[in-house]
A and B are shown apart, each in its own frame.
Chain A
Amino acid sequence: MATSYLDLTNELLRELNEVPLAVGDFSTAVGIQAYVKDCVNRAYFDIINEEPQWPFLSAPLPANANYDPMLGNVSLQTSAGQRFYQLKVFSPNTTQDYSSIDWNTFYLTTEGVSGETAPYVSKNLRFTTTEEWKDYFRASENADNADQAVGGEPSRVIRSQDGRSFGLSPIPDKAYKVWFSAWVLPTKLTDYNDNVVFPEMYTSVLLAKARYYIWQFKDNPQSAAFALEDYKKGLDSMRSNLMEPVPSYFKDDRVRFI
């Protein structure tokens, strides 16, 4: 078992008693070989779509030795008077944006901002729905905007309609650093040596889903059903192992006032 696109494709082809692909033929595969390649990608994206916040999709952490991961994995600096900021800077369109944002992880600080010294601003930014912001904050903040952006220290974060940007409320009155957690979009497997982004042990889940599509193609619903069952079980294991690797207890923090 391996994780390269070629290895995954050939594993399925061998299972189907089809002709495996060679490196030189990979890009020009035809017929069933091309279909199996397609199925690998479909299965790959199916797994991604099941959980956009798979740990292995987490945006790369800043290469800063002093970086504290609890701040988030993406940061950007605000400018005085600017409300909205593109979540992924320089991303030309949604195909290259982050796949998922945890809107409850936005954090505001002045640490790391040029010219700022301790004590730094340090606060969580509460996610505010567009509706709430419209009802309670939009009018006053637009007045600020019209008045050369007087603004203030942001305490809320809002989501733009296209989902590609976040807004701060109030409008920042100076430069801050905003941290949040983001997950990247995986790229489609294209070249023979492209690798899937998850650990090798989970490629069996991908193969099961690809097998499901292939058996459907081969008019074999029974085998397709078996493959789908395998996929579901494998996916449950992935979720259990990767998404919830925490102690299975909960606490009640309600306080009773007498």
Chain B
Amino acid sequence: MAASQPFGFVCQGGLDTNTNQLAALGNAGVAMELVNFEVDSDSGYRRINGYTPYGTARPNGTNDIKGIMAYAGGVLVCSGANIMFTIDGATWVNVARDGQNNQTYNHTDFFNLSLEDRTGQGQTSFIYEEGAGAQGTVIILDGDNLPYILKIEGTGALTSRTFHGHTFSVDNNTAPSVGTLHETRLVAASGNTLYYSDALDPKTFSAGAAVQLADNIVGVKSFRDDVIIFCSNSIHKFVNMGAGVNNGEAVVPITQNVGCIASGSIQEIGGDLVFLSPDGIRTVAGTARIGDVELSSISRQVQPIFADIAKVINSYVVTSAVIRSKNQYRLFYSGLTDQIENSKGIIGTLTNDGFQWSETLGIQAHGFDSSFDTNGVEKYYHGDKDGYIYIHDEGSSFFENGTAFDIESKYVTPFYDFGDVGSLKTLHYVKVSVSPESTVTPTLRVQYDYNTPDTPQPPFYPLSSIPVPSVYGQALYDEGAFGGIGDPMVRQAVQGSGHTANFKISSSDQKGSYRINGLFIDYVPSGRR
């Protein structure tokens, strides 16, 4: 009788759609499909959290969310023709008011000012200037209206706060769509022109403080000493801004071959600027050598996904943010009218081995932001086409029109040949290392021989006996399992045989999260036919 053989691997490497099944054998922990899971930076794949409604009211009815930002202990949202603000999610006020420059108003006076009509707002850029005061200042660029500056001071009820808000001009009626704060200047771009304000005065743009490029500017970002200018077909850096051309001010090309295709994709993470290019996510990394710039793709493992996105990029609203506590870069893309359940996204987790990727399905973020509240706590919000605002990465459900629906998650491994593709293997059991965060019942499925119809395929096996660990001082009577450990190995007897086998762990529910750490398989070689 042939003895049973062990095979085990740790879940690491993330989604890899770029390599074929045989190539993936070299890295057993990678996933062929990884939907609504996130790569844990310390290995393992964790089912992502859901999101929960922020408050009870929508900021502006059914109007699409164009931008969102945590600000002044509340949330600032651009939607329809309004700029809405709330501190509790229940009462929203339109803070787009026709105030005067350098004029601060109390609550009553500010909301007695006439409204600024922001009709035609595109995807908005929020530029935060910490400056003086506790709350800082926000500048809003939407590509269709004059820039708007807003400063809310004070804490607590809105009636006790002071407000300062008005539009200002960059260059006559120019309506910049993207911008950044560099050193003490506001840098804003419209078309192929880049404008920069006076130092220490982001509202004042002197004549001639602008540069023109050959390409259309998609995004700008301050990065160390320079401003990186992302064009549709090229990338430049603006050096020595404001010093004058005789003192080294110049636009220096980084590349004329690669551009950025979505301004909403530009983020800074891990000391790099990342952006969406036609061939995936790339970095503009400043190296130790001054002035030298390295371009590199960091999403080669999931390049086919990004290639598909790039083909129809103009039909998507692209937003992104960095989840700092998880070392994650999250990018969401969906059409203006796509159903939430069909809306997709990509999560890149920065690990010791570089970025590792997974996908999301069921999160629509037409506005997405991660920022710190007044207590220094990181907050994440996103808003969808129906005008709902959600607390991102919290809870265990997704929502469509305010109604919760299940999180459909799946992790699919490569097909393993267990070291010998020529021999038939009969699988006896699989041990799944799971770290449950509550009572969870994921499902295991084994498929043989690349899921050919010529090989009998076993049914789904529900993993219904995962003991939830009980932590002393936290566990509640009748909820935890006595003796349950943090990372239990769940043994599941399986059936079938084949030359290769893969494993799929999935769930479709509104239960808590869990992390798959690794799998151990016991099999018996059974012939070479």
Would you call A19 and B428 a contact (CB within 8 A)? no
Instruction: Please name all residues of chain B whose beta carbon is closer than 8 Å to the beta carbon of A245 when the two chains form the complex.
Output: none
- Chain A residue with the shortest CB-CB distance to B493: A17
CB neighbours (8 Å) of B455 from chain A are: 30-32
- Shortest Cβ gap from A16 to chain B (Å): 7
Within the complex, what minimum Cβ distance (angstroms) separates A38 from chain B? 14
Q: Inside 8 A of B77's CB, which chain A residues have their CB?
A: none
**Contact between A17 and B495, CB atoms less than 8 A apart:** yes
Contact string against A for B residues 495-512, beta-carbon threshold 8 Å, 1 for contact and 0 otherwise? 111000000000000000
Which chain B residues border A220 with CB–CB below 8 Å?
1-2, 526-527
**B456 at interface (Cβ–Cβ under 8 A)?**
yes
Query: Do A30 and B456 touch across chains, with their CB atoms under 8 A apart?
Result: yes
| 8 A Cβ contacts from B428-485 to A | 428, 453-459
Residues B426 and A18 in contact, CB atoms below 8 Å apart: yes
Minimum C-beta distance from A129 to chain B (A): 48
Contact with B along A2-37 (1 / 0, CB 8 A): 000000000000001111110000000111110000
A31 B529 Cβ-Cβ under 8 A: no
CB-nearest residue of chain A to B495: A19
Task: Please encode chain A, from 215 to 253, with 1 for each CB lying within 8 Å of some chain B CB and 0 for all others.
Answer: 001111011000000000000000000000000000000
Chain B: minimal CB distance from A44 (Å): 22
B493: min CB distance to chain A, Å: 8
**Would A32 and B1 be within 8 Å (CB), given that A18-B495, A19-B495, A220-B526 are in contact?**
no
Say yes or no: A32 contacts B456, CB within 8 Å: yes
Residue from B453, B456, B529 within 8 A of A18 (CB atoms):
B456
The answer to whether B1 and A19 have CB atoms under 8 Å apart is: no
Q: How many residues of A contact B (CB 8 A)?
A: 17
User: Are the C-beta atoms of B426 and A16 separated by less than 8 Å?
Assistant: yes
B528 near A219: Cβ-Cβ < 8 Å: yes
Are B526 and A218 in contact (CB-based, < 8 A)?
yes
User: In this complex, which of A18, A20, A31, A222 has the most chain B Cβ atoms within 10 angstroms of its Cβ?
Assistant: A31
What CA separation (Å) do A32 and B526 show in the bound complex? 12
Known contacts: A32-B497, A220-B1, A223-B1. The answer to whether A19 contacts B529 by CB under 8 A is: no
Measured between beta carbons, the chain A residues less than 8 angstroms from B426 are 16-18, 218
A52 and B427 alpha carbons, distance in the complex (Å)? 40
- B457–A19 CB distance below 8 A: yes
- In the docked arrangement, what's the CA distance between A183 and B446, Å? 48
B residues within 8 A CB of A31? Answer: 454-456
Q: Which of A195-224 contact B (CB under 8 A)?
A: 217-220, 222-223
B424 sits at the interface (CB 8 A): yes
Across-interface contacts of B529 in A (CB, < 8 A): 217, 219
Contacts of A223 in B (CB 8 A): 1
Q: Taking CB as reference atom, which chain A residue is nearest B455? A: A31
A-B contact pairs, 19 of them (CB 8 A): A16-B426, A17-B426, A17-B427, A17-B496, A18-B426, A18-B456, A18-B495, A18-B496, A19-B456, A19-B457, A19-B495, A20-B495, A30-B454, A30-B455, A31-B454, A32-B497, A217-B527, A218-B426, A220-B1
Given A30-B454, A32-B456, A223-B1, 7 extra CB contacts under 8 A: A18-B456, A18-B496, A21-B456, A32-B497, A219-B529, A220-B526, A220-B527
**What are the nearest 8 A-B pairs in CB distance?**
A219-B527, A218-B526, A218-B527, A19-B456, A31-B455, A19-B458, A19-B495, A33-B456
